[in-house]
Amino acid sequence: MERLAAGIERWVPRLPRAVMAALLVVLALGAALPAFTGLPPVDRDEPRFAQASKQMAETGNLVDIRFQSGTRYKKPIGIYWLQAATVAAIGKAGDRVIWHYRLPSLLAVLLSVLLSARIGSIFGGFAAGRTAGLMMAGAFLLLAEAHLATTDASLLAAILAAQTVLAGLYARSRAVGFARDETALPTPALVLFWGALAASVLLKGPVGPMVVGLTVAALALLHRRAGWLRALRPLPGFLGFLIVTVPWFVAITLRSGGAFWTAALDHDLLGKVISAQESHGAPPGSYLAMLWLTFFPASVPLALSLPAIWRGRASAGTIFAAAWVIPAWIVFEASPTKLMHYVLPLYPGLALAAALAWPRVMEAGLRRWQKIVTVVLMAIPVIVLLAAAGYGVSLGHLPFLPALLGLAALALGAALAWPALRAGMGTAALIGLWLMGAGFAGGLLSAAAAIPGLWPSPAIVALAAPSPACPARPIVTDGYDEPSLVFLAPSTEEATTPEGVAQAMAKDPCTLGVVADPGAFLSAAKGLGLTPVVKGQVKGLNLGSGHRVSLTAYAAR
């Protein structure tokens, strides 16, 4: 492995920029593809987004956001446009293939890796850009978001596009002492900055402007200089921003009669700020505690670089990273509602700080505490992957092959990274750590996909297979009301009572009834003169609620 590490260390830094960019894309893609198509719809948010996008593609209504017969107004329109456009390009209206709806997230992840590398190169040259890109290419949370048809990967790409322009402006302005008229931005850069901010708003409301705005405010306050920001052309830029964003907000306000704002602001945004929603509360400091796993394997160089980051705190890149990460991190930690993906827009800032300090860490060599930290952080994903496999056993299935392949990749990555770290070969160490990240994310997600007990909805849909007597089987449920079932089986009706299931079966004998209380259902069915037969049982974990389920499926014929 030492010989391999030496070869990597010698040849990778010699790659031309275009080839290195292609390599970063290949690495990110290789780490993100395992389980990308095989992972079933993940309750609850992913199938809600996908179902609403599917209905948008079917109806051609590009203004309203619908989930079955109701509305879905928690988030703006951006992700639904992206997903509907993707399905229109590669599939067809009514497409129920979940990975088609994940493609915008996958593409956004690849773009985010490249933009992270670009920001690193602005402050530290090609080497820092390569380092930042390699860190992001294997980061667990980023790879996990590539597997979800939600807003967060696309939001990250939009924020990074704006931050790339801001980083270039700040670096040039600082280099000339913030002199006016020395750092004018070309029109494409202005369009990118304001367009990216507009896209972030259409994707997830105020989160993008908050992250970028706090970065701007922190830099201006730190240097006590704001004149350099005039290069962003705030007045015409903001006007363009409004031209892009306002039309849809006006249209949805008129269409919904103001209901969009009630749901998006009062129930979603303010609800999360004021109190912990949907049992997702956690104390301040939770994101910092989760960082070492969710940012793995980049958490290893980050931890090893902390002293060097502090010593280089006066450098332009480190200041920019601090302005990017610290204010927004405080906001997220202070919010009662905490989900691990909320801080994803800040991870490239951490990668930037670590990338700038990484050469100094490698030159100095690892101290004893750094070796201990490295071993501990490398052990965490192994423990998590083994625990996931063990939980699969408790659900009645051992995901042997995915877990084995994931552990093998972790072992090979560690075998490359460890000697490289000890020998001060920073690039080879990062390649080894990337392999560990790919093994962890791929192994964990592939193992999850291989545990049937985690996915009740596909099992229910399988029981509703058509027959000559019933070419279509509507599904009516009691005790299980998850959007993944709605997405996979468009004829699914909203959950009802055991009596309601029996009445639906009496009305349409082809209906598949799925109940959690067979006794109450059979009693109601007997009263209606039905003699339903058991089609099968579904047992496992409801990911949406976190509770185990035991469901029985009945058919009248």
Per-residue pLDDT of the chain (557 residues; tens, 9 = 90+): 889 999 999 999 999 999 999 999 999 999 999 999 999 999 999 999 999 999 999 999 999 999 999 999 999 999 999 999 999 999 888 889 999 999 999 999 999 999 999 999 999 999 999 999 999 999 999 999 999 999 999 999 999 999 999 999 999 999 999 886 667 899 999 999 999 999 999 999 999 999 999 999 999 999 999 999 999 999 999 999 999 999 999 999 999 999 999 999 877 776 666 655 555 678 999 999 999 999 999 999 999 999 999 999 999 999 999 999 999 999 999 999 999 999 999 999 999 999 999 999 999 999 999 999 999 999 999 999 999 999 999 999 999 999 999 999 999 999 999 999 999 999 999 999 999 999 999 999 999 999 999 999 999 999 999 989 999 899 999 989 899 999 999 787 777 899 999 999 999 999 999 999 999 999 999 999 999 999 999 999 999 889 999 999 999 87
The pLDDT value given to residue 269 = 73
Per-residue tokens: 126:
């090609």
Q: How many CB atoms lie within 10 A of CB 346?
A: 23
- Comparing C-alpha atoms, which of 98, 99, 81, 100 is closest to residue 90? 100
- Comparing C-alpha atoms, which of 213, 209, 264 is closest to residue 241? 209
SS3 assignment for 110-160:
HHHHHHHHHHHHHHHHHHHHHHHHHHHHCCHHHHHHHCCCCCHHHHHHHHH
- The SS3 assignment for 534 reads strand
Which residues pair with residue 515 across a beta bridge?
478, 552
Whether omega before 399 lies within 30 degrees of 0, making that bond cis, reads no
The model scores a pTM over 0.85: yes
How far apart (Å, rounded) are the C-alpha atoms in residues 442 and 439?
A: 5
Which residues pair with residue 552 across a beta bridge?
515, 537
Strand 512-515 relative to strand 533-542, pairing: unpaired
The pLDDT value given to residue 557 = 72
Which residues pair with residue 555 across a beta bridge?
512, 533
Per-residue tokens: 321:
């990273």
Amino acid at 283: P
Exposed e or buried b for every residue in 1-29, given b needs 16+ CB within 10 A?
Answer: eeeebeebbeebeeeeeeebbebbbebbb
The pLDDT value given to residue 280 = 65
- Comparing C-alpha atoms, which of 26, 70, 23, 15 is closest to residue 48? 70
Q: What backbone phi and psi angles, to 5 degrees, belong to 70?
A: -100, -175
What DSSP element (H or E) covers 5? helix 2-11
Across the beta sheet with 533-542, what order do the strands follow?
Answer: 475-478, 512-515, 547-555, 533-542
Tell me if 309 sits within 8 A of 366, measured CB to CB: no
